[in-house]
Amino acid sequence: LTLGLPDGDDDFPTRIAAIKAQFTHSWLAAGGAEQPRTGSRVASRRSGVWQRHFWEHLIRDQDDFNAHLDYLHYNPVKHGLAKCPHQWPYTSFHKWVASDGYEPNWQCTCDRQTPLPPKFHGIDERLLEMAE
Ligand SMILES: [Zn+2]
């Protein structure tokens, strides 16, 4: 899925807000769960469906693209949802493997290998700064 804006229009925040609002409405109407709302969420009338921020970043070059892709594919491992990227079913990793974009055993620990964690070139640090 690729989202684009008309030429000369870079107002991502408005579009992201609209997408999140529409999703939240549909999600809650369908009985979807939300996290407990903290005092500040209640005060600012925010639901417990989304994190507060989104992260807008223009991909600079192929290396930056690769680092972001690695970040996405390693995230389920980082958060303890899977032991290896290939064990997480809800990922584009399998599609990338099928088109030779990744080795099937990228970051795999099934054979007691201990691959070095991927380097994300500061993506983690930037996300942490945003969360503060
Ligand atoms: Zn594995």
- Concatenated DSSP letters for 1-21? ------TT---HHHHHHHHHH
CB 105 within 8 A of CB 114: no
Q: Which of 33-47, 75-89, 102-116 has the lowest mean pLDDT?
A: 33-47
Check pLDDT > 90 for residue 119: no
107 phi-psi bin (left φ>0, alpha ψ -120 to 50, beta other)? left
User: How many CB atoms neighbour CB 33 within 10 A?
Assistant: 8
pLDDT (mean) for 26-45? 80
47-73: per-residue pLDDT in tens?
Answer: 778 877 767 777 888 988 999 999 999
- Determine the distance separating the centroid of ligand 1 and the alpha carbon of 116, expressed in angstroms: 14
The encoded tokens of residue 73 equal: 């594919």
Phi first, then psi: what are they for 92, rounded to 5°? -80, 0
Q: Which residues contact 66 (CB under 8 A, 6 or more apart)?
A: none
Q: 8: CA distance to ligand 1 center in Å?
A: 45
Sequence-ordered strand ranges (E) for 1-132: none
Evaluate if residue 6 carries a pLDDT over 70.
Answer: yes
96 alpha-carbon distance from chain centroid = 16
Q: Of 92, 2, 13, 14, which is closest to residue 55 (Cα–Cα)? A: 13
pLDDT exceeds cutoff 80 at 93: yes
Clarify whether 90 is annotated catalytic: yes
Matching residue, tokens 């229009």: 9
Question: What percentage of the chain exceeds 90 in pLDDT?
Answer: 42
Give the range with max mean pLDDT: 13-22, 37-46, 86-95.
86-95
Amino acid letter, 106: W
Q: How far is the CA of 73 from the centre of ligand 1 (A)?
A: 13
Residue 56's pLDDT is: 72
Put simply, whether the predicted model's pTM sits higher than 0.85 gets the answer: no
